[in-house]
Structure 1
Amino acid sequence: MIGFYNYSVILTYIGLASSVFGITQVFEHHESVAFLCLLLSGICDLFDGKIARSMKNRTEHEKVFGIQIDSLCDLVCFGVFPAVIGYQYPSVYPLRVVSAIMIVLCAVIRLGYFNVMEEERQRETTENRKEYQGLPVTTVAIILPLLYLGKHNIPVNVFPYVFQSFMILISILFILRINVKKLSMKGVLILFTMGVLIFLGYLKVNHII
């Protein structure tokens, strides 16, 4: 079998599986489950890089494979998956087509650009990255579920337009030449805590707890 199989890519694959399952839930009209899957994919992405870097004696091929597989999975999780979620709102046909195309296109441009620059950076230095250019695609896993959780405060007929507008704004931020500081471990833990709180919020709203 081709590929590399070790613990450094497990979380990346789990996040991808969660997103693919989430896409099926969009088709089944289980919107809350789909957003929970998006959130879970984001949580997996928070830690997959740190787990990969903890693996000693990784070969150069394994490192490059890790970069490529992470970006490919990110495209599905934080590009295609949000596009499918957004496209489900039938009341905003022209806008939902535009937002779906934009978030996938901008995600693939950003991820492709990141891959080129990251490979170059790793050839020049062994230091950890301190900042990103453009908004990391993973942010949709926090922004969109949080927006959906608060939709009860937005008129039902207005929410689809708000959601699509956020999708377009996020897409632009993916490729905007802005510097975004990379999260420290403390920042990762804060974001993880936010993710858990949003998850619990979903369970409460759906009367699971």
Structure 2
Amino acid sequence: MIGYYNYTVILTYLSLISSVVGMFFAAGYSGMRPHPEYAIICLMVSGLCDMFDGKVARTKKDRTESEKKFGIQIDSLCDAICFGVLPAVIGYSIGMRDWCDLPILVMFPLCAVIRLAYFNVAEEERQKKTTENRKVYEGLPVTSVALILPLLYSFHRDIGKDWFPEVYGGALFVIALAFITRFKVKKPSMKTMLCFIGIGVLELIWMLYKTKTR
């Protein structure tokens, strides 16, 4: 079989699987009603996998150049689906179905793909000049939606069924612009990543609590 199937890409594949399952939940798979809350959880799982896939891959010291390049490409392709397409599908699931919502639902994955492609090109150029690890990112990383959108969704009942699709759509619009805006974001350290995990766990608990108490 073509491709690579060693442990260095397992988390990347799991991230993609989680996001695809999330799309089925959002769409209402096999006759069940749509469950955007389950899709949001899948988005968080994808974000968790993505946080560590690169670090896991770098533990394999004998990676070939082809394996390294494959890892970069497969990571970006999966990120485009997990953090570009899935949030748009969730938007449709929660009620973004007016004609004026379509441009935002299209714009969001488009901006995510543009940013990911630009990052790949910039990273390839950077690696030709230095072997040091990247210290800053340009634009908002697409994986940030795995923290931003679950927090926003946890308030969907407070905002109200009629207004939440508008608020969610506005958030997608702002985030999409941030993907392709040229500003510097410091690459998080391991300590910061662990803090992100803690925040994600708290978000999940909060979201489950809000769902259960309504």
Alpha-carbon distance between aligned partners in 1 of 2:75 and 2:124, rounded to the nearest angstrom? 13
Q: Which runs of 5+ in 2 are unaligned?
A: 29-33
Matches within 5 A, 1:1-209: 1-28=1-28, 29-90=34-95, 93-207=98-212
Give the Å deviation of 1:91: 5.8
CA contact (8 A) 2:15 2:82 kept: yes
Alpha-carbon distance between aligned partners in 1 of 2:207 and 2:60, rounded to the nearest angstrom? 34
CA contact (8 A) 2:111 2:177 kept: yes
Code of the aligned partner of 1:20? V
Normalised TM-score (structure 2) = 0.93
Identity %: 54
Alpha-carbon distance between aligned partners in 1 of 2:208 and 2:115, rounded to the nearest angstrom? 33
Code of the aligned partner of 1:124? K
Code of the aligned partner of 2:139? G
CA contact (8 A) 2:96 2:169 kept: no
1:153-179 Cα offsets, whole Å, 9 max, x none, are 213311110000000000000000011
The alignment partner of 1:56 has SS state of coil
CA contact (8 A) 2:15 2:47 kept: yes
Alpha-carbon distance between aligned partners in 2 of 1:155 and 1:33, rounded to the nearest angstrom? 19
Give the Å deviation of 1:204: 2.7
1:125-149 Cα offsets, whole Å, 9 max, x none, are 1111000001000011111111001
Code of the aligned partner of 1:152? R
Alpha-carbon distance between aligned partners in 2 of 1:54 and 1:126, rounded to the nearest angstrom? 16
1:56-97 Cα offsets, whole Å, 9 max, x none, are 111111111000000000000000111111122446513321
Code of the aligned partner of 2:5? Y
CA contact (8 A) 1:79 1:107 kept: yes
Q: How many residues align?
A: 208
Code of the aligned partner of 1:192? I
Code of the aligned partner of 1:132? Y
Alpha-carbon distance between aligned partners in 1 of 2:122 and 2:209, rounded to the nearest angstrom? 42
Partner of 2:31: none
CA contact (8 A) 1:89 1:96 kept: no
CA contact (8 A) 2:137 2:186 kept: yes
The alignment partner of 2:195 has SS state of helix
